[in-house]
């Protein structure tokens, strides 16, 4: 079999096993890694490179920071403050999504989610709501918020670079023309249809609540834990000025908590969710294979070729959105954008369409990674904490993808017409 055929077979295998869930999702991811090595598509170093990915380092660091917040009882106090302003579960969802969405418009989506996850769990524990009903809106809001500005997500910057090749540019807040309505529609979705679809897994919340009530911690440890969280957030905000990646900023905070004794070494290890690490690191190998073997590009070009040169704007828009949505749920959003942007430019050139419209459609599609736990790092980070199953993401995320596509169909022709 050719590398492309093997990669597409592994993609199909992963989808089936993720949905079936007869073996652990992390085990499926590791099988993919091993098969990629055995078949000679990757060497061992390349196949397992995902385990030293910057996001994995950030995961580990923020798991430790979150663990310190739990061990010191800080999450309980923060949760009490948050719930003071939210009288109902729906109000709490709105607050979480607005805060996360707005922060994600200017900070790393992954970093924003990583910082807010322990806060949201604390709010769930304090309020008595199932954390599974709050964490998914948080993760999805981090993706929705990425479309609020030029720096909201790496895909936005990739689109800007591609557009500059043809002498055009997007304005800093031009993405917000679609980003703001999509974030608001996302919030409305979770107040209506999504609210009914959110899984209620209260057992883990109770367990965390019990753990939280037993904790007796010196005041100074709580102060240090809060300061580390604050400085980590500030470090992420001023990442470019400081000159350090957010993974290193998070690692400094995690190490400081262990060195100062706020959290013991054993507690730090226990706070790291190994399932998340193995699942994320393993699926990155498949995403890399889709990119390097050309399988992802072949899938995209096959669909585009079916359209022909005289496709209608509606058909073109539909295809671009569906392709980017499908790929981004199994590949890195950044890799999907990098893969599709050159294809988008060639489509616009061959059909005489405005490249701004085609690239904006790709950006929107690349942000719709709601239907799988491997769609975004934020989806992955909440997987174990929320006690989710693969089909929970499909059940809640797929309707949101459909809504996002419908909103795009309405707004893209208004703000970015294909044939101006």
What's the rounded Cα separation, in Å, for the pair 41 and 104?
36
What's the rounded Cα separation, in Å, for the pair 371 and 369?
6
Average pLDDT score over residue span 31-48: 95
What's the rounded Cα separation, in Å, for the pair 111 and 365?
21
Residue 80 CB contacts under 8 Å (≥ 6 apart), including other chains: 126
Top-confidence residue, 371 or 53: 371
310 pLDDT band (50/70/90 cuts)?
A: low
- DSSP codes of every residue in 93-128: HHHHHHHHHHHHTTS-HHHHHHHHHHHHHHHHHHHT
Using the predicted structure, report yes or no on whether residue 325 has a pLDDT greater than 80: yes
What's the rounded Cα separation, in Å, for the pair 410 and 393?
25
Amino acid 395: pLDDT: 96
Lowest mean pLDDT among 31-40, 56-65, 154-163, 203-212: 203-212
What's the rounded Cα separation, in Å, for the pair 224 and 136?
29
Q: What beta strand segments (E) does 129-244 contain?
A: none
Using the predicted structure, report yes or no on whether residue 212 has a pLDDT greater than 50: no
Using the predicted structure, report yes or no on whether residue 402 has a pLDDT greater than 80: yes
Average pLDDT score over residue span 9-33: 89
What's the rounded Cα separation, in Å, for the pair 382 and 123?
15
- DSSP codes of every residue in 140-152: HHHHHHTTSSTTS
22 pLDDT band (50/70/90 cuts)?
A: confident
SS3 362: helix
What distances in angstroms separate CA 214 from CA 22, 219, 225, 261, one per listed residue? 36, 15, 18, 19
Helix (H) or strand (E) holding 377: helix 377-381
Domain boundaries, the chain: 53-154+175-273
SS3 1: coil
Tens digits of residue pLDDT in 128-169: 899 999 999 999 999 999 999 988 888 888 899 889 888 898
The two three-digit tokens of residue 371, written as one number: 């239907």
Minimal CA–CA distance to 61: which of 111, 135, 124, 26? 111
Using the predicted structure, report yes or no on whether residue 204 has a pLDDT greater than 60: no
Q: Average per-residue pLDDT in the chain?
A: 88
Using the predicted structure, report yes or no on whether residue 342 has a pLDDT greater than 90: no
Top-confidence residue, 332 or 153: 153
Amino acid 199: pLDDT: 94
Using the predicted structure, report yes or no on whether residue 211 has a pLDDT greater than 60: no
CA 384 from centroid of its chain's CA atoms = 15
Minimal CA–CA distance to 253: which of 222, 219, 225? 225
Amino acid 125: pLDDT: 86
Amino acid 215: pLDDT: 57
Asked whether 243 and 235 are in contact (CB, 8 A), the reply is: no
Top-confidence residue, 310 or 3: 3
311 pLDDT band (50/70/90 cuts)?
A: low
Tens digits of residue pLDDT in 106-136: 887 888 898 899 989 988 988 889 999 999 9
Residue 194 CB: number of other CB atoms within 10 A? Answer: 23
Residue 303 CB: number of other CB atoms within 10 A? Answer: 14
CA atoms 19, 21, 22, 25: torsion sign: positive
205 pLDDT band (50/70/90 cuts)?
A: very low
Asked whether 288 and 46 are in contact (CB, 8 A), the reply is: yes
**pTM higher than 0.95:** no
Burial of 349-368, coded b for 16+ CB within 10 Å and e otherwise, reads eebebebbbbbbbbbbbbbb
262 pLDDT band (50/70/90 cuts)?
A: very high
Q: Which of 241-245, 257-261, 288-292 has the highest mean pLDDT?
A: 257-261
């Amino acid at each position: 079999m050719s590398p492309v055929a093997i990669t597409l077979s592994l993609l199909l295998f992963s989808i089936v096993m993720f949905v079936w869930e007869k073996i652990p999702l992390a085990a499926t991811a590791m099988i993919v890694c091993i098969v990629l090595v055995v078949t000679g598509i990757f060497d061992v170093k390349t196949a397992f490179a995902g385990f030293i990915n910057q996001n994995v380092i950030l995961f580990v660091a923020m798991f430790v920071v979150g663990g310190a917040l739990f061990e010191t009882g800080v999450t309980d106090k923060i949760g009490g403050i948050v719930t003071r302003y939210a009288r109902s579960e729906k109000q709490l969802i709105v607050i979480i999504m607005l805060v996360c969405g707005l922060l994600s418009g200017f900070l790393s989506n992954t970093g924003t989610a990583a910082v807010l996850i322990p806060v949201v769990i604390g709010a769930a524990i304090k309020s008595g709501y199932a954390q599974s009903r709050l964490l998914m809106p948080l993760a999805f809001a981090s993706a929705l918020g990425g479309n609020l500005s030029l720096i909201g997500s790496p895909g936005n910057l990739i689109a800007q670079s591609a557009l500059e090749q043809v002498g055009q540019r997007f304005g800093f807040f031009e993405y917000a023309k679609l980003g703001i309505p999509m974030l608001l529609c996302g919030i409305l979705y979770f107040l209506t249809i999504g609210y009914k679809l959110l899984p209620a897994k209260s057992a883990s919340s109770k367990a965390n609540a019990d753990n939280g009530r037993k904790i007796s911690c010196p005041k100074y440890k709580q102060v240090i834990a809060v300061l580390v969280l604050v400085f980590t957030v500030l470090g992420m905000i001023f990442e470019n000025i400081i000159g350090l990646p957010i993974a290193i900023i998070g690692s400094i905070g995690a190490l400081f908590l262990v060195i100062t004794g706020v959290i013991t070494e054993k507690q730090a290890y226990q706070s790291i969710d190994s399932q998340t690490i193995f699942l994320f690191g393993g699926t990155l190998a498949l995403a890399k294979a889709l990119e390097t073997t050309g399988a992802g590009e072949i899938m995209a070009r096959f669909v585009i070729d079916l359209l022909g040169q005289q496709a209608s704007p509606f058909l073109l828009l539909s295809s671009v959105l569906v392709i980017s949505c499908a790929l981004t749920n199994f590949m890195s959003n950044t890799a999907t954008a990098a893969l599709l942007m050159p294809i988008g430019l060639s489509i616009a050139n061959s059909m005489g369409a405005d490249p701004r419209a085609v690239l904006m459609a790709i950006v929107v599609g690349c942000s719709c990674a709601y239907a799988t736990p491997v769609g975004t790092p934020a989806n992955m980070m909440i997987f174990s904490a929320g006690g989710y199953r693969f089909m929970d993401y499909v059940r809640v995320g797929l309707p949101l993808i459909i809504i996002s596509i419908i909103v795009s169909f309405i707004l893209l022709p208004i703000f970015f017409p294909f044939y101006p």
